[in-house]
Structure 1
């Protein structure tokens, strides 16, 4: 299947994407000019840092290879390379969408992050 990258989105954002057939991005993505993604190793820290305490979230897995040259890996948090998409996300490149609920401890409970 290839490499998956991950986007955390609200249910409302994703419902709009499904209605539009494309995900243009969350407000932070639109402001920055690209869609922020995380690798499997980065996703939990992203959730804790940017989505702490937020419920009603989804974890969207995207096939990185399908995104072509519009996907770049830019230096970001702590000098790590993060995947950024410099185009709207065509939903045909989505492998799956799964709930990202909060646990009793306030941390998000991640699903199995594979194909």
Structure 2
């Protein structure tokens, strides 16, 4: 199953430059990297990235992260994937811009 991470431009640039990251400030504070499923990603964007431009959407394979990935109850009682190690460039299946159109982020139609 694919899971998704939204990064701001500077966070994405840091991951590309260093090859690994502990994530965004909220990830560092919480001690794990937050991800969303395809069904959760739009709500995550609206709640945590409302009105922000220049975002990147990263896709990862949850099966490849299984040893370090925990599914934990979070927003609204839903289970969210949390990565308990550094996020590495090698983990990324693809990265695409997440454009802001008419005040909402437009997600790729082929998200799984």
| Fold in common (TM above 0.5) | yes
CA deviation after TM superposition for structure 1 residue 69, in Å: 1.8
Match 1:108 to one of 89, 94, 105: 105
Number of corresponding residues: 112
Q: Any unmatched runs of 5+ in structure 1? A: none
Structure 1's consecutive aligned runs of 4 or more residues displaced over 2 angstroms after TM superposition are 112-115
Question: Are 2:65 and 1:67 aligned?
Answer: yes
Q: Distance in 1 between matches of 2:104 and 2:18?
A: 31
Find the residue that maps to 2:105 and give its secondary structure.
coil
Q: Name the CA distance, whole Å, in 2 between partners of 1:66 and 1:77.
A: 24
**Equivalent residues in 2 for 1:43-82, closer than 5 Å:** 43-82=41-80
CA deviation map 1:47-80 (0-9, x unaligned) = 0011000111000001111113210000000100
Q: 2:3, 2:36 within 8 Å by CA — same for their partners in 1?
A: yes
Q: Which runs of 5+ in 2 are unaligned?
A: none
What is the TM-score with the length of structure 1 in the denominator?
Answer: 0.93
Q: Tell me the C-alpha RMSD between the 2 structures.
A: 1.2
Give the corresponding residue for 1:83. Answer: 81
